[in-house]
Chain A
Amino acid sequence: MSDTLVKPSSAQPAPAAPKRRRNWLAIAATAVGLVLLVLLPVIIGTEVAYLKVAQYILIGAVGGIGLTLLVGQAGQLSLAHPFFLLVGAVSYAVLSGEAEADLVGLGLPPVIGLIGAVAVSGLLGLAFAPVAGRLRGIYLGVASLSLVFLGLWLGQSLESLTGGTSSGRTPPTFELFGFAFANSEPAPTILGVAIQKQQRLWFLFLALAVIAYLLARGAVRSRIGRAWRAVRDNEAAAAAMGVNVTRVKAGAFVVSSAYAGLAGVMTALWLDLVKPDENEFTGNYSLTVAIAFLAIVIIGGLGSVPGAVFGAVVVYGLQQFFLLGANEFGWFADAEFGGLTAVVLSAFVYGTAVVLVVLFEPGGAAAIGRRLVGRRAPAPVPAAPGGRDTPERNDDDPRA
């Protein structure tokens, strides 16, 4: 159509747009990375403790991806992530666990339990949506904090579901088409390494994380992702484009909560325990976790899905790595460490990382990554009157 139209002459000839080409190098690197991840149990061999660290990172990645979609893409600050983790963990135990003395258990197949737990978390996210829809920014952040406190209290009160704070309850072993994610005798082997419970859980976690990752990437690039960003950047403009702002915001909360719910199921399987926290400031579903997830998202770069995975490596990975060092090699035991513990040291690292990111690279690891790989060099534009600074993020770059 354009040929027949009057075409306004462009003021400045812009530098040629970067050509879209298939980056074979990137594809090869991704393939090698995936193979390495799949073979990780073989590479690690008998040192299962390392495998536990890797599993834990995947929990952080799944939860972090969910939060970065909500906070970074849809622009809704939430500190409620631990609550939905708790909901996911408890729902899985209730749906698939066996009814015992004082415990409610429906005994459904674990796959149903896992899917159901994700669904329940998503639905509770939807229940919070009317509140979330009315609030903005920091008001929403603090309002969402109330869910963490609510979770603490419910976890303590509903002992028949949660098992209570003193003993908790054991989550059912995950099973897929009769294949149990538990130790067995004899166990199958890959390259001489027995594939036992922890190895099996690794494969499960890896599959879940890859699915979570791909879904998020796809969504970010598609219509819903554009709607999220439009709502984040200007609600009136989003509405003018036909975006139902209330619905899109609620949807983002549902998606994020479902991700957190999945991370909760994974936490239960990882710990082999579902146990609500005793107080609001320490534990698996506490304020500390809310802050840690926020750190994952900030370090990775708000809104970046690969960034969230990187953030999980920094925040969740280092903590478990230091703990491992403490247990295996006696790190931090001597006076020379000045009473540092694994948890404290990892908190220092990610706290510092957050400070550095905000000070020097608000786009987080994602922006650094883009620069290193040299993609998306935004064409340098001569400082034009009214031209604005380089934005700190480019969260929808389909190639990032």
Chain B
Amino acid sequence: MSAGTRDEAAVAAEPPTGLRDDVRELVVEDLTLRFGGITALDAVSFTVAPGTVHALIGPNGAGKSSCFNVISGLYRPTRDPAPREPGVRHRVRAPREVRYGDADLTALSPHKLAALGIGRSFQNIALSPGSTVRDNVLTGRHVLTRGGFLSGGLRLPRTVREERRHTARAEEICDFLGLADRLDTVVGVLPYGVAKRVDIARALAIEPTLLLLDEPAAGLNATETAQMAVTITGLRDALGISVLLVEHDMGLVMGIADRVSVLDFGRLIADGPPAEVQADPGVIRAYLGTGEDETDDETDGGATADGGGDGVPS
């Protein structure tokens, strides 16, 4: 697909309020991931329908982050060699466990995802602390723009025009996320909750049709978490895109998700609307049976997100 057309459409037209035709289905099918002898993900399947907020939850170590990292191209699925029968010709075909529309995400480098319209935020905020909010968000326009050292260095009229246009759009996105008065602020001095929104603004700047959010409420206090919930549903409603979020905070998830997938020890133990999942005995067992309530330390602690990668044995 052409990056340019997506960009033009997004900048020029009012964002469609209904379902957009460029938002595709994210399919995770029979996904297995092993680290050494440990199975982080065991034949996990679920589908993120276009235009929905889909939550991936589970206790610590359930494999949420591993799953997220496979989707965003940082990990590759583990594939067992098929049992071979002598004399039979086997068709070798990649299983394509993770697909976005027609694109096989298991075969792409992480940097190719942005051009497909997949944006992601980071659990522990991976922004450039020395750059301004505007500059950080503009980084998200990378695939939508052109130009290298010389065109940038010479400040060709075309480059300057492009720069101006994309800066306007970046500022618009910041405005949407309540960052309008922080555009010139250096990210490193921002409070955690605000920096978290900058991270999401940057992911939105690639004009995604699918937004991946890695623990958007981690490290936030109760007020900030509530704001985050409003932000997430707001951007889905306004842009008509799909959102897949990995989250600890059950309150947030149940409030905003259209569909919830629950992982426990690398297996999918439930998949359905929030109310249904909440009532599922298996889910209750997984969450309460271990004697740990994850949500507490995450929501009221606020400042100290442990940032611990769950489900990533290392």
Query: A residues touching B (Cβ–Cβ < 8 Å)?
Result: 1-2, 4-18, 20, 214-219, 221-227, 229-230, 232-234, 236-245, 251, 255, 303, 376, 378-379, 381, 384-397
Contacts and interface: CB of A to CB of B under 8 A. Distances in A.
Nearest to B116: A242
A237 B111 CA distance: 9
A255 B115 CA distance: 26
A240 B192 contact: no
B290 interface: no
Interface of B: 14-15, 72-74, 109-115, 119-120, 122, 126-132, 135, 138-143, 145-155, 159, 163, 172, 175-178, 181-194, 197, 202-203, 206, 219, 221, 223-224, 227-228, 230-231, 233-235, 237-238, 302-305
Interface centre among A17, A219, A241, by most chain B C-beta atoms within 10 angstroms, is A241
Contact of A233 (B114, B128, B197): B128
Contact of A227 (B139, B154, B238): B139
Contacts of B237: 5-6
Contacts of A384: 191-193
- What does DSSP make chain A's interface, helix, strand, loop or mixed? loop
A218 B155 CA distance: 6
A111 B80 CA distance: 61
Contacts of A1: 14-15, 172, 176, 238
B181 A241 contact: no
A225 B185 contact: no
B189 A391 contact: yes
Residue from A11, A251, A376 with most neighbouring chain B CB atoms (10 Å): A11
Given A16-B181, A391-B188, A393-B130, A214 B113 contact: no
Contacts of A20: 184
A225 B130 CA distance: 13
Given A17-B183, A240-B110, A251 B131 contact: no
A390 B190 CA distance: 9
A390 B135 CA distance: 17
25 contacts: A11-B224, A13-B181, A14-B181, A16-B181, A17-B183, A17-B184, A17-B185, A218-B154, A219-B149, A222-B163, A223-B152, A224-B147, A226-B138, A229-B128, A229-B130, A230-B139, A234-B128, A240-B114, A241-B140, A241-B202, A242-B143, A245-B111, A385-B191, A395-B131, A396-B135
Given A241-B202, A381-B189, A11 B194 contact: yes
A8 B238 contact: no
Nearest to A18: B184
Given A10-B181, A384-B191, A395-B130, A242 B206 contact: yes
A386 B230 contact: no
A10 B178 contact: yes
Given A17-B183, A239-B111, A386 B191 contact: yes
B109 A240 contact: no
Q: Which 4 A-B pairs have the closest CB atoms?
A: A386-B192, A222-B152, A242-B114, A391-B188
Contact of A2 (B128, B176, B194): B176
